Amino acid sequence: MAALLSALDSDNYAKNGYLIVKKFLTDAETNLLHKLSMSEEIVEKGFDLNDQTGKKTRLTLWFTPGDDSFGLMSRSEKMIVAIRQLLGEKGNICHFHSKVMQKAPKTGGAWEWHQDYGYWYKNGFLYPEAMISVMIALTESVKANGCLQVLRGSHLMQRFEHVFIGEQQGADPIFVEEAMKHCELVYAELEPGDALFFHPNLLHRSDANHSEKPRWTIISAYNLDFNVPFREKNPSCITPVSVVSNAALLESGGVLTTQRDFLIKEKEITLNVK
């Protein structure tokens, strides 16, 4: 498979802990996924997480990447090629989970400073370097509607202690304060179709959505199969993905499978399976 990222992209990811790829999805692909993400089936399978002020952010999370349009996107050749370039050749690429993040206008809540590996460590994954997240903007995601903020280069500080802050797990605030003295705060603004690849130890957060516009994204998380977690019961994260062509997403015409292994809040959220 041909390389998607340049050597400079890979260097920037290693140095900064994140990489923005503009127009990773075409407008047609983005519109298709955006429409599906607003369907009753997806919204209804989601759950709310309260931020500290009581504002809610809604997410719908599933593990196995199926044959529907979301699964075809997360298994597409361009996605897997890019991840291979960033994670290297040490193992086969597996899909841990994907989630549709729904930040409603005016009411969508904030996310505390955290590292994804703050959660995933507790699932028993031992090798953060074998993991990565990819956020794709389905709507514009900018400062006004609560885009992701990152501390550039903070992944090099390794994992911080995470504690429950309301319903979310946040990195120890004293350490975050210190990290902010060393790292530049970047608002990772995205246009629809742009992708943000980020390292599991990158500190990130987002503000509530105070604007009139929704902020919808999808985040897919991946793992290399040698990184076998000792507390995660869903096998998706150690099952190599079956790669599909880039054309498959549009060819699907917008298909949704509701027979999925969705995360249900009541049962599992307290086990750190975000």
Ligand X SMILES: O=C(O)CCC(=O)C(=O)O
- Closest separation in Å from C-beta 108 to ligand X: 9
CB-wise, 4 or 269, nearer to ligand X? Answer: 269
The single residue among 116, 189, 194, 232 that binds ligand X, judged by CB under 6 A, is: 116
The single residue among 18, 70, 96, 111 that binds ligand X, judged by CB under 6 A, is: 111
Q: At what angle do helices 77-87 and 7-16 cross, to 10 degrees?
A: 60
Identify whether the C-beta of residue 265 lies closer than 8 Å to the C-beta of residue 273.
no
Distances (CA, A) of 23 to 27, 28, 152, 192, 196: 8, 11, 22, 8, 11
- Closest separation in Å from C-beta 148 to ligand X: 5
- Closest separation in Å from C-beta 70 to ligand X: 16
Instruction: Give the pair of three-digit tokens for residue 115.
Output: 């590292």
Residues 6+ apart with CB under 8 A from 94: 222, 223, 224, 225, 236, 237, 238, 239, 240, 241
Residues 6+ apart with CB under 8 A from 8: none
Using alpha carbons, select from 69, 59, 65, 72 the residue that is nearest to residue 119.
59
Q: Within 10 A of 129 (CB to CB), how many other CB atoms are there?
A: 15
Residue 140 lies near ligand X (rule: CB under 6 A): no
* Subset of 206-235 contacting ligand X (CB under 6 A): 206, 217, 219
CB-wise, 5 or 59, nearer to ligand X? Answer: 59
Per-residue string for binding with ligand X, 153-192, x by CB under 6 A? Answer: ----------------------------------------
The single residue among 36, 80, 101, 241 that binds ligand X, judged by CB under 6 A, is: 101
- Closest separation in Å from C-beta 204 to ligand X: 5
The site for ligand X (CB under 6 A) is made up of 101, 111, 116, 148, 204, 206, 217, 219
